[in-house]
């Protein structure tokens, strides 16, 4: 039988503490997931990370020993609440067991700190204490505790509560991933990862309206891959897909995070450049053209080299719409095509009425 957990008495002098862990300048590394058999009752039998925080190390070790019987659980123990908070911020554990009474940073203060820095992940926290008064329970739950355990902790109850919270945690995480995948599917082209046409137009209109309000420049580049049909006809659609994917990757590498890259259809793409006037936009287009022409795509022993024709236009405030800007950029791109391909053509702004 494992010894019962206890709260720290006012005078710890009579207690023979376990040797302290070796000092470290950085938080300990998280347990490697998958080093123990996973718990088949958890979603996808996923390995989990659990943190135990108690200033009385024997108490913390007792809890850790209980939790390690939960297959797949990697347990990290802290007797310093401040270090525990820093570790949780860095490693986003799946469950935290937190002692209520601790010196300096007590359980409530530690929980408040955790909730302040992990609000998005909502890590479940079990508060552990021998004080089961209504006031203590209310204070713990108001501070953000997910569950509550009374000392002495009974192992069967601890494992049952921990397993239930881990199930909820992992299902929530899976739901977040599924929602992110749905958002990507709704907003991105599934082959290239560029924005789809609908999302590009939506975000480009927002950006143009911002530039209209603040009287800032914005430019648009329309890009069309040269001789793309011949790639599909001679090498097959797999080669065409590889060319499109590599092309989009090359564009992303050459653009800023604030620029918008969208696939408008087939082999045609568009790039919106916020805070960019015509001269700089033309430089960006030329850099894109050169980057694309220098890349090689290897596919089944065949090396593809692709080029592109680019048309550039600067938004002409205040009345020009995105459709009109796209039309001018598209016209410039066709001039690049008819002028020999693998080149950049910049269009002049429309005459003022």
pLDDT of 41: 55
Sorted by where each begins, the domain ranges of the chain are: 43-184, 197-346
CA atoms of 63 and 52, how far apart (whole Å): 7
96 contacts 70 by C-beta, under 8 angstroms = no
Same fold, 43-184 and 197-346: no
Quote the pLDDT of residue 37: 46
String of b and e for 288-327 (b: at least 16 CB within 10 Å)? bbeebeeeebebeeeebebebbbbbbbbeeeebebeebbb
Helix (H) or strand (E) holding 304: strand 302-304
Q: What are phi and psi of 4, to 5 degrees?
A: -75, 150
- Cβ contact 54:7 at 8 Å: no
* Residue 162 three-state SS: helix
Looking at 1.10.1040.10, 3.30.70.270, 3.30.930.10, 3.40.50.2000, the CATH number of the domain 197-346 comes to 3.30.70.270
Write out the two tokens for 35: 């080093």
- Asked if 122 is an active-site residue, the reply is no
246 close to 180: Cβ distance less than 8 angstroms:
no
Domain with residues 43-184, CATH architecture? 3-Layer(aba) Sandwich (3.40)
173, 124, 118: which is closest to 146 by C-alpha? Answer: 124
- Enumerate the β-bridge partners of residue 148: 127
* pLDDT block averages, 10 residues each, the chain of length 353: 49 40 43 47 66 92 88 85 90 91 86 76 86 87 90 92 90 86 87 96 95 93 96 91 94 96 97 96 97 88 91 88 95 97 89 55
CA 5 – CA 17 distance, rounded (Å): 14
As a whole number of angstroms, the distance between CA 57 and CA 64 comes to 10
Query: What's the confidence (pLDDT) of residue 248?
Result: 96
User: Of 122, 142, 157, 267, which is the active-site residue?
Assistant: 267
Pairwise CA distance, residues 348 & 325, whole Å: 11
Radius of gyration of the chain measured on its C-alpha atoms: 30
Distance CA 53, CA 108 (A): 12
pLDDT of residue 46: 64
- 3-class secondary structure, 309: strand
Q: What is the pLDDT of residue 187?
A: 92
Residues with Cβ within 8 Å of residue 260, at least 6 apart in sequence = 195, 200, 203, 204, 207, 270, 271, 272
253 with 315: CB under 8 angstroms?
Answer: no
- Spatial separation of the C-alpha atoms in residues 148 and 158, rounded to whole Å: 10
Phi, psi of 109 (to 5 degrees): -65, -40
Distance of CA 141 to the CA centre of its chain: 29
Long-range Cβ contacts of 174-183 (<8 Å, 24+ apart): 174/43, 174/44
The span from the CA of 264 to the CA of 271, in Å, is 10
Q: Confirm if 125 and 144 have CB atoms less than 8 A apart.
A: yes
């Amino acid at each position: 039988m494992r010894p019962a957990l206890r709260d720290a008495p006012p005078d710890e002098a009579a207690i023979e503490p376990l040797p302290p862990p070796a000092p470290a300048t950085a938080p300990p590394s998280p347990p490697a997931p998958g080093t123990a058999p996973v718990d088949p009752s958890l979603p996808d039998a996923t390995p989990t990370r659990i943190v135990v925080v108690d200033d009385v190390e024997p108490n913390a070790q007792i809890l850790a020993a209980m939790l390690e019987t939960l297959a797949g659980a990697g347990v990290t123990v802290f007797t310093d609440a401040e270090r525990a908070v820093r570790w949780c911020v860095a490693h986003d554990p799946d469950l935290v067991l937190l002692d209520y009474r601790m010196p300096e940073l007590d359980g409530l203060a530690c929980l408040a700190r955790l909730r302040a820095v992990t609000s998005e992940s909502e890590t479940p926290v079990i508060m552990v204490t021998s004080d089961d008064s209504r006031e203590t329970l209310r204070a713990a739950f108001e501070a953000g505790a997910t569950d509550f355990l009374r000392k002495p902790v009974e192992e069967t109850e601890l494992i049952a509560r921990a397993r239930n919270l881990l199930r909820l945690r992992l299902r929530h995480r899976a739901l977040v991933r599924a929602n992110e995948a749905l958002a990507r599917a709704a907003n991105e082209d599934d082959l290239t990862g560029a924005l789809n046409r609908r999302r590009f137009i939506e975000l480009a209109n927002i950006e143009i309206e911002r530039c209209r309000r603040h009287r800032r420049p914005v430019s648009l580049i329309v890009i069309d891959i040269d001789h793309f049909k011949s790639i599909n006809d001679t090498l097959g659609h797999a080669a065409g897909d590889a060319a499109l994917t590599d092309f989009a990757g090359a564009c992303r590498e050459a653009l800023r995070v604030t620029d918008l890259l969208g696939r408008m259809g087939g082999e045609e793409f568009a790039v919106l450049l916020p805070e960019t006037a015509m001269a700089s936009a033309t430089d960006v287009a030329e850099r894109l053209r050169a980057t694309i022409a220098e890349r090689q795509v290897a596919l089944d022993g065949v090396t593809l080299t692709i080029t592109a024709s680019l048309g550039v236009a600067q938004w002409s405030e205040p009345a020009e719409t995105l459709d009109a800007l796209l039309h001018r950029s598209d016209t410039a791109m066709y001039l690049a095509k008819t002028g020999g391909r693998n080149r950049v053509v910049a269009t002049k702004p429309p005459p003022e009425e």
